[in-house]
Amino acid sequence: METRTAKAYDVVVIGAGNGGLTAAIRVLQAGFSCLVVEKHNLPGGFATSFKRGRFEFEASLHELNDFGSAEEPGDIRILFRELGVEDKIDWIRIPEAYHLITTDKKYDCVMPFGAQAFIDKMEEYVPGSRQSMTDFFALCNEVRDAQAYSSSVNGNTDSDYMKKNFPNFIRAGSYSVNEVLEALHMPKAAQDILGAYWCYLGVDLDRMSFLHYGSMVIRYITRDAWMPRMRSHEISLALEDRIRELGGDIWYHSPAEKILADAPGKITGVQLTDGTIIPTRHVIANCSPHLVFGKMLDPAVVTEPMVRATNARTFSGRGFTLFLGLNKSAEELGIQSHNYFIYDTTDSARQYDMMRKVDTNHVQATVCLNNAYPECSPPGTCMMYFTTMFMSDDWGNVSETDYFKAKDRVADDMIRVFERETGCKIRDAIEEIAVASPTTYARYCGHPQGVIYGYETAGWDSLMPRMMMMKEDAQLFPGLRFAGGYAMRSSGYSSSYVSGDLSGRQTAGDLKREVR
């Protein structure tokens, strides 16, 4: 193969996903040169949109949490402000938190934003829940403050300071969501309703760390969620634009095939599939360690601890999304909420188990974007997207010739369940349809098995120890850091922006130390 050596960069970012784009801006803001290489012809990774007929579909974003208003900004709005992209994007506020429906216990609950409103509503649905809900939010506030402190010191927390200022955080910190809610004596029904967000993190509440869940819930409920007007593609292009403004380069249709290194920790460059070599000593990988240590690095520089640490981890959910453009308005169809969670059962561990198999999975997180932004599609129409995950590689059993039918079967089931649970008849109104399977996600973003949530944040690999070991993990291969869904902050939009922020700033720190 012909090889051509391009000019050298201080940092090469592999993948223009949420984490990679953010990391690149941080590197550039610190005054270092940066090239982003992306296999697809668009920035954003999952954060994109696509058109079908008269509809422009959101590819993945349900709502951006921890964003807040301009006056009371959340952490992500503050980050966007620092990155210089807040004002490049038109923002829309999401009206309500979520609409939970469960088949087994017949829950049908619409929960609002705002801690007080949320507690009041819960008291309406579950009389006697007020005290435990109030305690829950107090505990979550402490979790958020402790995490803010942890981030401010780059994970190098002082344990005496922690014990003194965040004692509840530490005492609750090693337990699962269900263990903590029990300890708060929360009525079971309130636990059920409060647990609705679990599919956003992809781990059942028996195994999900309370700290992780609590920090997400408080970010949703107290700082409300927002959405860019032009779908998440608007965020991705705003970040892309900022990279260009800061003098960074971004190459599309440029899949990185190899990370070149002389020895462990001694990166010399990145090689693209067409043979082009870009010299660099620092790589930020917006892709999975499985790909980096298993395929991109030469086996000679991959040590046993790297292999063990990567093999030890568990892939999270494989994504499946159905997109519908409907030729009737949400009002005509009776679709009242923006964001539905529909579960077979409130028992998240049992539900997780059912999600292992394609045929037994009926979970859906479903959005009707028009109920947040009525003008997102032409008058008299509306758009919906239905997302689920498979908690095993069962989808990998689909054959090439059954592929299109297999997608239709899952999509058909999603429509059936939505119609049954909400009473809204949408099938005859389908004007445009698109289906993204794990195969689709594997195709566009290259993630193993079509995983969309990175590594599972369950048990020993939950969010808190990951954050506390951030520095240690980066020592595994100096010069290489991760951003995006597989990085320390795990998956989701906000988390990916934060991991990009952390890895970008830390890489800039590495470079500054080298200069000194």
Q: How far is the CB of 100 from another protein (least distance, A)?
A: 25
* Among the listed residues 117, 125, 165, 241, the single contact to another protein using CB under 8 A: 241
254 binds another protein (CB under 8 A): yes
Return the structure tokens found at 335. Answer: 């679709």
Taking the least distance from each CB to another protein, the nearer of 345 and 393 is 393
Return the structure tokens found at 21. Answer: 């784009």
How many residues line the site for another protein (CB under 8 A)?
98
* Among the listed residues 168, 329, 345, 392, the single contact to another protein using CB under 8 A: 168
Compute how many other C-beta atoms are within 10 angstroms of the C-beta atom of residue 188: 13
Taking the least distance from each CB to another protein, the nearer of 9 and 98 is 9
* Among the listed residues 8, 448, 478, 505, the single contact to another protein using CB under 8 A: 448
* Among the listed residues 33, 151, 174, 329, the single contact to another protein using CB under 8 A: 174
Cβ–Cβ under 8 Å, residues 206 and 348: yes
Q: Cα-flanking dihedrals φ and ψ of residue 187, to 5°?
A: -55, 145
Return the structure tokens found at 353. Answer: 């188990």
Residues 389-418 touching another protein, rule: CB under 8 A, are 393, 395-398, 400-401, 403-404, 408, 411-412, 415
Q: How far is the CB of 516 from another protein (least distance, A)?
A: 29
Residues 268-287 touching another protein, rule: CB under 8 A, are 274, 276
138 binds another protein (CB under 8 A): yes
* Interacting span for another protein (CB under 8 A) from 75-83, 118-126, 455-463, 494-502: 455-463
Compute how many other C-beta atoms are within 10 angstroms of the C-beta atom of residue 302: 18
Q: How far apart are CA 454 and CA 461, in angstroms?
A: 12
* Among the listed residues 438, 454, 484, 504, the single contact to another protein using CB under 8 A: 438
Taking the least distance from each CB to another protein, the nearer of 171 and 266 is 171
DSSP H helices in 128-186: 130-152, 159-165, 167-172, 177-183
Cβ–Cβ under 8 Å, residues 483 and 286: yes
* Interacting span for another protein (CB under 8 A) from 91-99, 146-154, 190-198, 222-230: 222-230
* Among the listed residues 61, 177, 184, 372, the single contact to another protein using CB under 8 A: 184
Give Rg (Cα) of the chain: 22
* Among the listed residues 223, 290, 338, 481, the single contact to another protein using CB under 8 A: 290
DSSP reduced 3-state for 125: helix
449 binds another protein (CB under 8 A): yes
Q: Burial letters for 102-138: b for 16+ Cβ neighbours within 10 Å, e otherwise?
A: beeeebebbbbbebeebbebbbebbeebeebbebbbe
Cβ–Cβ under 8 Å, residues 265 and 477: yes
What mask of x and - would describe binding to another protein in positions 332 to 361, judged by CB under 8 A?
------------------------------
433 binds another protein (CB under 8 A): yes
Return the structure tokens found at 204. Answer: 């059942």
149 binds another protein (CB under 8 A): no
